[in-house]
């Protein structure tokens, strides 16, 4: 394929993205390595103190925290506890409107009969969207399933939530889009809003009594967010390949004609 046709292919691929109703109001596609706010586990807690305006709330104490390399490990010592950006001056709290959060996480199945997982909780502007990541599924906080039949304990996986308050496709309060390992699992969008979002904070961890418990353990490799944009994940290479093959075939067909 010559350079001109490659350029056409990329333009068409971008147009397909833009024309997809699921992404009509999103701000584009971006790898989380380009996000303005990026924190590895040891940049949240360095083994002795919290860093970069991160803090802790809920029932956990710092005795629940340890480091594995640069990963932050939670070995729960209470029914709930989490890390958060919530001190009135973080990049999260200084922004408004759309947002994107991505976290690379692993649930360690320390008890195969009790693994209630953790959440990514984005709250701001009178909205709060809560993604509940469980051992074999992803749901809202009420347990309504977004996707199931997966294993979130076998390795680290990336989880992304992009929120657009101007898109009312899924909810009058705005629509959330959810990816796991760069694969969209929420279709045209989902409503994972939880009523009463009167605070401004970003939470990752065991938010609530009854979700986590003292036998759960989980690890955070990183938390990254773009506080002012709703961004889709870069498609998996297999998806890009299929799209590329189709478009190459289309260009080839047109050329033969």
Domain boundaries, the chain: 22-233
- The pLDDT assigned to 247 comes to 42
C-alpha distance across the termini of the chain, in Å: 17
- pTM, to two decimals: 0.85
Residue 62 pLDDT greater than 60, yes or no:
yes
- The pLDDT assigned to 195 comes to 85
- The pLDDT assigned to 36 comes to 98
C-alpha separations of 167 from 171, 178, 179, 231 in Å: 8, 14, 18, 14
Residue 3 pLDDT greater than 70, yes or no:
no
Least confident of 29-43, 100-114, 160-174, 177-191: 100-114
Nearest CA among 81, 108, 41, 90 for reference residue 205: 81
- Contacts with 195 (C-beta within 8 Å, 6 or more apart), sequence order: none
CATH class of 22-233: mainly beta
Average of per-residue pLDDT across 151-170 = 95
Residue 78 phi/psi, 5-degree rounding, is -155, 175
- The pLDDT assigned to 115 comes to 60
C-alpha separations of 252 from 1, 2, 13, 224, 245 in Å: 9, 12, 16, 41, 10
Calpha distance 79→186 (Å, rounded): 29
Judge whether 73 and 219 are in contact, CB under 8 Å. yes
Banded model confidence at residue 254, pLDDT cuts 50, 70, 90: very low
User: How many Cβ atoms from other residues are within 10 Å of residue 193's Cβ?
Assistant: 22
Banded model confidence at residue 213, pLDDT cuts 50, 70, 90: low
Strand partners, 199: none
Calpha distance 86→17 (Å, rounded): 34
Average of per-residue pLDDT across 184-213 = 89
Calpha distance 215→29 (Å, rounded): 38
Phi-psi region of 165 (alpha: psi -120 to 50; beta: other; left: phi over 0): alpha
Average of per-residue pLDDT across 29-49 = 98
Q: Say what angle helices 3-19 and 237-256 make with each other, to 10 degrees.
A: 120
Helix (H) or strand (E) holding 13: helix 3-19
Banded model confidence at residue 51, pLDDT cuts 50, 70, 90: very high
- Contacts with 34 (C-beta within 8 Å, 6 or more apart), sequence order: none
Calpha distance 188→169 (Å, rounded): 8
């Amino acid at each position: 394929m010559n350079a001109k046709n490659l350029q056409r292919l990329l333009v068409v691929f971008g147009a397909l993205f833009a024309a997809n109703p699921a992404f009509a109001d999103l701000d584009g596609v971006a790898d989380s390595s380009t996000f303005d706010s990026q924190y590895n586990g040891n940049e949240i807690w360095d083994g002795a103190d919290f860093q970069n305006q991160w803090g802790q709330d809920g029932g956990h104490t710092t005795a629940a925290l340890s480091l594995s390399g640069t990963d932050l490990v939670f070995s729960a010592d209470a029914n709930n506890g989490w890390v958060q950006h919530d001190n009135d001056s973080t990049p999260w709290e200084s922004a408004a409107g759309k947002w994107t959060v991505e976290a690379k996480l692993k649930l360690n199945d320390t008890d195969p009969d009790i693994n209630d997982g953790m959440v990514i909780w984005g709250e701001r502007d009178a909205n709060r969207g809560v993604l509940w990541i469980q051992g074999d599924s992803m749901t809202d906080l009420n347990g309504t399933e977004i996707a199931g039949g997966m294993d979130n304990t076998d390795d680290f996986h990336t989880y992304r939530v992009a929120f657009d308050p101007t898109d009312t496709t899924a909810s009058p309060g705005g629509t959330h889009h959810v990816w796991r390992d760069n694969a969209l699992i929420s279709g045209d969008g989902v409503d994972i809003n939880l009523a009463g979002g009167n605070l401004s904070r970003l939470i990752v961890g065991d938010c609530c009594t009854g979700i986590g418990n003292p036998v759960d353990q989980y690890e955070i490799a990183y938390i990254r967010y773009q506080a002012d944009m709703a961004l889709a994940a870069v498609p998996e290479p297999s998806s890009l390949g299929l799209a590329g093959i189709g478009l190459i075939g289309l260009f080839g067909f047109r050329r033969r004609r």
